[in-house]
Amino acid sequence: MTQMGQPAGIPAAEARDWAWARRAAAARRRTAERIFLGTQIALDALLFALATYLAHRVPVSLGLLRLPRALPTHQSLAILGITTAIVLLVFAAGGLYRRGRGVSRFDTFSRICTHLTLGLLLAIAVNTLVFHENVVLSRRLLLVGWLLAIALVTAGRLLHAVVVGQVRLRGLAVDRLLIVGTGTAARIVHDKIRRMPALGYHLVGFLAHPGEGAPPDTINGAPVLGTTERLHEVVRRHRVDELILALEGTPHTTALELIYQVMDLPVNVRVYPDLFRLITNDELNVSDLGGLPLVTVRTAGLRTWSRVVKRAVDLAVSSAVLVFCSPLMLLLAILIKLDSPGPVFFVQERVGHDGVPFNLLKFRSMPVDAEEETGPVWATPNDPRPTRVGRFMRRYSLDELPQFINVFLGEMSIVGPRPERPYFVEQFRQSIPYYMARHREKAGITGWAQVNGLRGDTSIEERTQYDLYYVENWSLLFDIKIMIKTLARILSDENAY
């Protein structure tokens, strides 16, 4: 290998051109990332200072808040500067300035709440030590400032993310991406990148692994550039910035060999966690067996306290929905009866917790004999079967409201893998070996797959991946996040039909 990470065994002129192109592209990306980071820090500082100023000035000016004495301007500015600096340091220590793509709005909000609260507490302690009795604290002032800071900083971060996404959409600060693999895992990664162009990836193509069989020429229009035997050459020739290994059932030694092939090249390597998703559990811990270290990567199902908490939330939410939505449900029942002959409710057998079947309730959205000629089939876009009222209900998921009765009775949960009919379950369990693992928990009205756009006639393999991730990583906060994202998707879900 030549100096500065240039690959050995190629003509010197080509190596120089390659190195120059790499350095120029890397310099452009570094400059863009520094601009993104600098503007983010400046925006956080500005909006936090503005929130603090408004929280103090507006209530005092309106006579809603009286402070015992006014501080000198220079001391007020010093306190504001110290507080802002501490909050930014807490943000930095908490990873809020690390480069990331595709972070959800809910995660952004929750992290800002947590770190801003910690930063304010530390700032109060530091300012009290520095200025002693000159620091005037008002609980009302602190509460208003805290709420305003969360609102303004969150809004600023969301706006900044939109601007950065638009910059990347126009081809600036993008990373050239190579996906290693041509199977289901690789296609899932590619589909996610296609659905989210603001992530800032330019896909140069795929590389097939010999163990995957004969590779196709293209995958969804993207070229297959050969096999992993040419990995080093392809990364160098196409100036790849990031490499994602998306191989299924590949031994870890094979993955390491592929990584070693590009160790001398300036390329980031990521692994789509296929089977390794199981070790992302928050409860990962190290124990011992008579002195022999063991790593617990998963536990079978939720613990007792987790089930109690989840059930309590299910009862509270389902009771509230059934009470407050009862007028709407009565109106829908009347419209269904007026629109087409047949019962109001559609009762269908589904497979639930531990593979036990149960009767799922929905408002009837199709004629009674909708599947008489076709048998069990998926709903598809422009499906002619729904009635007029049924089409409206399915568009806004109103036909799912009776499932809160299933939740109240304990047959379902608010959040969990969507239940399927026994006919489809039997098909999926034969084609997807780990499919039945999603039944370790109760089926849900909504789920992690659904809020990520995977409902209706979409990839069952990808949906199963999302369902298993949810089962392995359950938390109350995760459930709340999914509920909020569900409400946001009701009006914009393209797969609701």
For residue 239, the domain's CATH number is 3.40.50.20
Of the two residues 160 and 170, the one the predictor is more confident about is: 160
pLDDT confidence tier of residue 274, bands split at 50, 70 and 90: low
Query: What is d(CA 226, CA 292) in angstroms, rounded to the nearest whole number?
Result: 44
> Per the domain annotation, does 290 fall within a domain?
no
Q: What is the mean pLDDT of residues 11-29?
A: 60
Question: Tokens at residue 482, please?
Answer: 């999914």
Residue 203 pLDDT exceeds 60: yes
- Mark whether 330 and 454 lie in a shared domain: yes
Distance CA 168, CA 199 (A): 7
User: Confidence band (pLDDT; 50, 70, 90) for 378?
Assistant: low
User: Among 370, 349, 372, which Cα is nearest to 380's?
Assistant: 370
Domain that holds residue 146: 19-169
Who's near 273: CB < 8 A, 6+ residues apart? 279, 280
- Domain boundary (232, 257, 272) is at 272
In the prediction, which pLDDT does 275 show? Answer: 43
- Tally Cβ neighbours within 10 Å of residue 142: 13
CA dihedral 31, 37, 43, 44 (to 10 degrees): -170
Residues 144 and 209 reside in one and the same domain: no
Per-residue confidence (pLDDT) for residue 278, from 0 to 100: 40
In which band, very low, low, confident or very high, does the pLDDT at 190 lie, cut at 50, 70 and 90?
confident
Report the C-alpha gap between 284 and 295 in whole angstroms: 7
- Band of pLDDT at residue 334, cut at 50, 70 and 90: very high
Residue ending a domain, among 272, 295, 313, is 272
- Is-contact 258 240, C-beta < 8 A? no
Confidence of residue 69 (pLDDT cuts 50, 70, 90): low
With a pLDDT cut of 70, the percent of the chain lying above it is 75
Does 35 share its domain with 130? yes
* Whole-model pTM over 0.75: no
Residues 408 and 483 in one domain: yes
Distance CA 269, CA 9 (A): 23
The answer to whether the beta carbons of residues 345 and 368 sit under 8 Å apart is no
Are residues 398 and 322 part of one domain? yes
| Confidence band of 171 (pLDDT split at 50, 70, 90) | low
Q: How far is CA 126 from CA 71, 73, 76, 82, in A?
A: 17, 19, 14, 8
Cα–Cα–Cα angle for 88, 91, 95, rounded to 5 degrees: 140
Last residue of a domain, one of 135, 169, 203: 169
Which range has the worst mean pLDDT, 24-33, 409-418, 481-490? 24-33
pLDDT, tens only, 214-266? 778 888 888 988 888 888 888 888 888 888 888 876 677 777 888 878 877 77
Say if residue 142 is in the same domain as residue 187. Answer: no
Residue 180 sits in the same domain as residue 158: no
Do 119 and 253 lie in a common domain? no
| Residue 130, domain member (yes or no) | yes
- Asked if residue 4 is part of any domain, the answer here is no
The whole-angstrom distance between residue 89's C-alpha and the CA centroid of its chain comes to: 26
C-alpha span between 50 and 239 (Å, rounded): 44
C-beta neighbour count of 203 within 10 angstroms: 20
389 within a domain of the structure (yes/no): yes
Together in a domain, 220 and 367: no
Do residues 50 and 84 share a domain?
A: yes
Residues 356 and 468 in one domain: yes
Domain count within the chain: 3
The answer on 196 and 121 residing in a single domain is no
- Measuring CA to CA, which residue among 117, 107, 36 is closest to residue 83? 117
